[in-house]
Amino acid sequence: MSEKITIYQKPTCSKCRATLALLGESGEEFESVNYYETPLSADKLLELVRKLGVSLQDVLRKDEAIARDLGVATMPDNELAQAMVDNPDLIQRPIVVRGDKAALCRPPENVKALL
């Protein structure tokens, strides 16, 4: 595969750090995006979800206190996507993208499908 690899991550997340280590060991070039410093747009989040081939609810961290506080379980997707980008702790991580494919790297070894 020749497409660029991008990892959307949070540096303090253990799964993100483990996935970054696997990417580093692979020898492949990649871009790392800390989506806390460089926030995703709602459209970008929906694009990532499409590439993952899952629903928006599947990348929602439902157990976060903010999820309960905001009542995200009953939000329509357009409102949910905006709530997730406004509150990035609601987004499962890390998400690794290569071309039109993506993987939610929980566990980190899921990244190997993109290498």
Residues with active-site annotation: 13
Q: Are 108 and 90 in contact (CB under 8 A)?
A: no
The whole-angstrom separation of Cα 74 and Cα 53 is 21
Token pair belonging to 91? 């987004």
Amino acid at 33: V
Whole-angstrom distance, CA of residue 62 vs CA of residue 112:
26
